Structure 1
Amino acid sequence: MNKIPLLLALGALCASTAYADNAAFDWPQFRGPNRDDISKETGLLPQWPAEGPKKIWSYTQAGQGYSGFAVVAGHLYTMGTRDGAEILICLDAAKGTEVWTAKLGPILENKWGDGPRGTPTVDGDRVYTLGGDGTLVAVQAKDGKELWRTTMDALGGKRPGWGYTESVLVDGNQVVCTPGGSKGAMAALDKMTGKVLWQSTAWTDGAQYSSIVPAQFNGQKQYVQRSMTNIVGIAAKDGALQWQVPYPGKTATIPTPIVKGNQVYVTSGYGVGSISFTIESGNTPKMLFDETGGTNKVMKNHHGGVILLGDKIYGYSDGLGWTCQDFKTGALVWNEKAKLGKGAIAYADGHFYCLEEGSGNVVLIDASPTGWTEKSRFKLDPQTTIRSPQGHIWTHPVISNGRMYLRDQDLIFSYAVK
């Protein structure tokens, strides 16, 4: 056998087996195993061909929405719309073929684009997901059979203006979500039955658009979440409010909190910026780079997310562009505004994958505190024809088991990046 056919055969084999069932590189929920948008996968391509990485498959029936991806045990889960309802979709992650769909609830209608916003959470043989209207559903992972459902309204919540966008947290026997409202802004449900275990009656702010992060402070499991006006720590065992820090949000607070050790960091767009603090003994917050009661204006991240890598925060900051910020001090390390517009970020194997929301350009850069070093770029093609004129490409990239997954409304793509 000569070399060229051999290489082609090996290439085909690699393409067909790139998605091996490797639980270490699965992506079971929004922002990955640790809700930090960091993949621990290695051996990925350090740069791409001029036309971009090889497209393995495309799926064209996802409908409307900005829902992200969970990738577990050879299956990809996301949400979309079909036949007048929001749906949960399961695809074969290797082939892009539809395995099953499950009906969730009414379609969220919004001028920025209709449909669901959150990402499903996979826990063992179950999938949990929250639709844009606030319908929370648990189904069997193997076939989409519904196990139970509830609504944020039943938990006392009121749908925020852009719909519920939270990706629910599954922790132990609990499904934890943020309905907002007077019954308790945060709620924990029994993951097997949907029965309410507790609500955070001492914290009753309205729901915003962020997702909960688990943390350990002073030997206690807590859930960190934010509203328009506060950042809180809620006891995982009973929903008791452990600490609260005022935060002057404006219009919408979206990015997921960052927690490392006893340090908490949050950022928002609309000119607000970031604050950071530690949780000391007695669950007492101590402000770090915000000693004046205002906010640090280095990182003003709207909704593309930020990543903590080492002791630096990376993401897109309104006004500054792609930005690196010191986690401890809040100081600007570097920024790059000219080479790529606003968008979302993911990390894997020494690189950031940056998706520009307006154009669909995808750029691979070194994950470095020394500055912007671009390795490759390509443009998502084709792009949807059903997106709202006010909407952009807002679904975050996911890198899992040698594949990069991208979405533009009804179109989902899988690329080989290993």
Structure 2
Amino acid sequence: MRTFIFIFGWLSAGTFFVSESLADWPQFRGPNGNGYLGELNHPAQWSMKKNLAWSQPVAGGGWASPIIVGKRVFISTAVDSKNTKPLGHAGGVRNMRGKKPTEPLDFKLICLNLEDGSTQWEKNIAQEQPKYAIHPSNTYSTESPVTDGKHVFCYFATIGKIAAVSLKGKLVWTVNIGAFPSGNGFGTGSSLALSEDTLFIQCDNDKDSFVVALDTATGKEKWKRKRSSRTSWSSPYIWKHEKRTDLVICGSGTVTGYDPATGKTNWQLTNTRSAFTASPASDGKYIFLGNSGPFRQGPLIAIGPEISGEPRLDTSKLPKGVIWAKLRGGPGMSSPVASGDYIYVCSRGFLSCYNTKTGQQAYKSRLPSSKSIAASMWADDKHVFLMDESGKAFVVKAGPEFEIVGENDLDDLFWSTPAVTTGTLLLRGANKIYCIREN
């Protein structure tokens, strides 16, 4: 993560693929799982008084990102009798060790109306007392849901529960894959991934790590593979490139590409140092990923379709399929984003920009007066957006020269990654969800 030991992202080959209308935002980081919008379709300026269409309180605690299907917004949350909220970075530093819950929590999926924020329905998925403590800056509902347009699939890793719910709030099926202890008791955070009729769950923990594929219609297991990785918080990424489709899983010290259909290992890159907090990004040709430990920045790596076998990362002699690597270029919690010919990485209050083809660094510049940044970045053709935990959002000009072209502010605590649909930006804070729209 940042300065303490809290380590928490369909492409056509060679091009960005973006939904023409962005009518839906079906998963963590959008239609392609990479935070790229194409053309800007939400206001570039907002505040508590400007372009704020509505705000809606959300009970309990949850860093899960909102997802959008048509005019419906879906969010998950975990609610106790005290309506406990997560702490920010400073509060987390002062209270490093979380406490085990002393009562059952209500694990919920909530549907809101995109137009006015009104609650359409709430579905209680489970009422259960988690076995393990989490870091006070984390939540018991950090994994983002995903949708196939017919059902919403939600995952509460702290109790091991996965559920499929219809768009009208009917529970279709539930599966329990088990709850496990996390590294240093920091909790969980890997969101779901979806490809066609298969749901993918990365469960890297400190006891029994695995990746599992479930049938979306029934919840039945299609395949499951044990993993040697310990706790990691990165989310699975579906990487479609010119040679095949890989399910990319970033673990502790390894990055693995699985065949989504069978679970067969297509390739595994080793010696990637510490566990991953941020999720991968892609420009449609290469995939970009990296990590950082609590006290030092880790590597930033660009991988191409030619990767195969079990190469070992060596920045002095790159193996086949590793296009370039920067020993001290990895992201913190916020997942990187690619736009045009550049990949943008945020770590320790700095924004860095690299050429996607060569890895040459265009700049590394400090974000002025920024707080801790956990929410993943998003970008269009002309801008890169970053939001720190205090609600300050930086609008940076895309390209090789660092220029902040705007700053926006909301009054809440923000670690959740935003969601975007045509003309609308949704920002989830610890207390409310905010709808940004031209007015």
Q: Give the TM interval when normalised to the shorter protein.
A: 0.7 to 0.9
**What is the rounded CA distance, in whole Å, between the counterparts of 1:290 and 1:356 in structure 2?**
34
Aligned AA (2:357): K
- Alignment match, 1:268: 291
Measured against aligned partners, the alpha-carbon deviations of 1:17-53 in whole angstroms (never above 9, x if no partner) come to xxxxx953321100000001012344544x5378764
Unaligned runs of 5+ in 2: 1-19, 81-104
Shift in alpha-carbon separation, 1:285–1:141, aligned structure 2, 3 A: farther
Measured against aligned partners, the alpha-carbon deviations of 1:47-98 in whole angstroms (never above 9, x if no partner) come to 5378764111111133212111111111111111235322111111111011
Aligned AA (2:353): C
- Alignment match, 1:81: 78
- For the 8 Å contact 2:232–2:276, the answer to whether it is kept is yes
**What is the rounded CA distance, in whole Å, between the counterparts of 1:76 and 1:49 in structure 2?**
20
Comparing 295-304 and 263-272, the one that deviates more: 295-304
Shift in alpha-carbon separation, 1:262–1:37, aligned structure 2, 3 A: closer
Matches within 5 A, 1:358-397: 359-374=390-405, 376-381=406-411, 383=412, 393-397=414-418
- Alignment match, 1:209: 233
- For the 8 Å contact 1:311–1:327, the answer to whether it is kept is yes
- Alignment match, 2:365: 336
SS in 1 for 2:210: coil
Number of matched pairs: 379
Shift in alpha-carbon separation, 1:93–1:171, aligned structure 2, 3 A: same
- Alignment match, 1:135: 161
**What is the rounded CA distance, in whole Å, between the counterparts of 1:107 and 1:57 in structure 2?**
33
**What is the rounded CA distance, in whole Å, between the counterparts of 2:425 and 2:204 in structure 1?**
34
**What is the rounded CA distance, in whole Å, between the counterparts of 1:279 and 1:350 in structure 2?**
27
- For the 8 Å contact 2:238–2:245, the answer to whether it is kept is yes
Give the counterpart of 1:58 among 52, 55, 59.
55
**What is the rounded CA distance, in whole Å, between the counterparts of 1:73 and 1:379 in structure 2?**
27
- For the 8 Å contact 2:29–2:418, the answer to whether it is kept is no
Aligned AA (1:139): V
Aligned AA (1:280): E
Give the counterpart of 2:252 among 214, 228, 237.
228
- Alignment match, 2:340: 310
Shift in alpha-carbon separation, 1:393–1:42, aligned structure 2, 3 A: closer
- Alignment match, 1:400: 421
Residue 122 in structure 1 maps to residue 119 in structure 2: no
Q: CA deviation at 1:327?
A: 2.4
- For the 8 Å contact 2:255–2:269, the answer to whether it is kept is yes
Matches within 5 A, 1:17-166: 24-42=22-40, 44-45=42-43, 47-48=44-45, 53-83=50-80, 84-105=105-126, 106=128, 109-110=133-134, 111-133=136-158, 134-143=160-169, 145-153=170-178, 159=182, 161-166=185-190
Measured against aligned partners, the alpha-carbon deviations of 1:350-393 in whole angstroms (never above 9, x if no partner) come to 22222112x2212222222222232x223212x2xxxxxxxx52
- Alignment match, 2:94: none
- For the 8 Å contact 1:23–1:72, the answer to whether it is kept is no
**What is the rounded CA distance, in whole Å, between the counterparts of 1:183 and 1:220 in structure 2?**
29
Q: Tell me how large the CA RMSD over aligned residues is.
A: 2.9
Unaligned runs of 5+ in 1: 1-21, 384-391
Structure having the higher Rg: 1
Aligned AA (1:304): S
SS in 1 for 2:112: strand
**What is the rounded CA distance, in whole Å, between the counterparts of 1:253 and 1:322 in structure 2?**
18
- For the 8 Å contact 1:153–1:179, the answer to whether it is kept is no
- Alignment match, 1:324: 353
Q: CA deviation at 1:159?
A: 4.8
- For the 8 Å contact 1:52–1:378, the answer to whether it is kept is no
**What is the rounded CA distance, in whole Å, between the counterparts of 1:56 and 1:113 in structure 2?**
28
